[in-house]
Amino acid sequence: MILKQLSILNFKNYEDAQLELSEKINCFLGNNGEGKTNLLDAIYYLSFCKSYFNPIDSQNIKHESPFFVVEGHYQKNDKEDVIYCGVKKGQKKQFKRNKKSYEKLADHIGRIPLVIITPLDILLIIEGSDVRRKFIDGIISQYDNSYLNNLLAYNKALNHRNLLLKSFWINRNFEQESLDVWDEQLVQYGVLIFEARKKFIADFTPIFQKYYTKLSQNQEKVALEYRSQLNDENFNAILKKTIAKDRANHYCNTGIHKDDLLFNLGKLPLKKFGSQGQQKTYLLALKLAQAELITSISGEKAIILLDDIYDKLDGKRMNQLLGIVGNGDFGQIFITDTNLERIPAILKIENINFKSFKIKKGIVEDA
């Protein structure tokens, strides 16, 4: 799937922008704060129906404007898809494919596979387990729509169960039969999610190791450890065992919403023992492995967004990265940089086709 044309109206700092794009690599170049990352976010919107950086749609409308529109013209073989996203203050978001609105936004996820790499990826290492669960869920949801539906159903059941526990505490009563209804749903959907996550880790780890080795140019072993309460015990039994704690805390203390993904260098935790260079390489390898896995399963090459990657890598590893993403194994590439010459010079040396755009105060010009 190739994004041939991107149109933006009143999106973030852009009043109006029309871009004719290269099928290979596109460079968005300019100083910080000019709007380079906002272009990447517009492309992200067209894949995930939301912003990567600010999930509140109305806050992505240009200041003092009543609405924003992001539209992309994609080409796959001889067919064209037009994806439209429109947000108007006080109204429901409109998301359309070829002028037809989706009944559920979840139905669009995975249609245009995409991976974004940004300096914010460091949050995967330093933040809590919820960030790493979202990382896993975001990958699987792109190639398995049933997984996304199971996740939505699980979270709905979890919310109802927590509300029920809170009402028991407020009203000073308890009805096990009412709780059992939601326990059954948690188990039903939770087990499916758990099995999908386990399979994902098994399939993903060898690909991840391959890219870490390429980028680091050594044979250092890396490991991903999926930690879940369901690894050790039946989910239904866990829920029964912890009911007293759930009643005392007024929320569910166990389940796949407590899962975590541990990042290790050998047997040591990356967060504590990894150098800054090792952490950057680790994160980049994670995202490249994500792109390859999605591509291999979906049969559709993933678009890759690279935001300020010189913040992540030294010149040597930067050259290695551009060589990897430019070899044709991945889909269309979009890169931002503050230096107008740096990335184009590397791409010319590597003999990779590309197109450059100069970005200044929300204005886009061919560079």
Q: Tell me the pairing of strands 363-366 and 268-269.
A: unpaired
Chain segment 13-41, per-residue pLDDT in tens: 999 999 999 999 999 999 999 999 999 99
Rounded distance, CA 198 to CA 217, Å?
Answer: 28
Q: Which helix (H) or strand (E) holds 185?
A: helix 176-216
Chain segment 314-347, per-residue pLDDT in tens: 767 777 787 787 777 889 999 999 989 888 888 8
Q: Which helix (H) or strand (E) holds 291?
A: helix 276-298
Rounded distance, CA 192 to CA 29, Å?
Answer: 44
Number of neighbouring beta carbons within 10 Å of residue 85 = 23
Chain segment 43-101, per-residue pLDDT in tens: 999 999 999 999 899 999 999 899 999 999 999 888 999 999 999 999 999 999 999 99
- For residue 311, what pLDDT is reported? 63
Rounded distance, CA 151 to CA 332, Å?
Answer: 29
Domain ranges in the chain with CATH number 3.40.50.300: 1-113+305-367
Domain ranges in the chain with CATH number 1.20.1050.90: 124-299
- Compare 216 and 44 and report the one with higher pLDDT: 44
Which pTM was predicted? Answer: 0.89
How many percent of the chain have pLDDT more than 70?
99
Q: What is the CATH number of domain 124-299?
A: 1.20.1050.90
Rounded distance, CA 367 to CA 360, Å?
Answer: 11
Query: Which CA distances in Å does 303 have to 28, 83, 214?
Result: 15, 15, 21
- For residue 346, what pLDDT is reported? 83
Rounded distance, CA 156 to CA 181, Å?
Answer: 13
CB-based contact 37:307 (threshold 8 Å): yes
1-113+305-367: CATH superfamily:
P-loop containing nucleotide triphosphate hydrolases (3.40.50.300)
* Total residues found in the chain within this entry: 367
- Compare 348 and 185 and report the one with higher pLDDT: 185
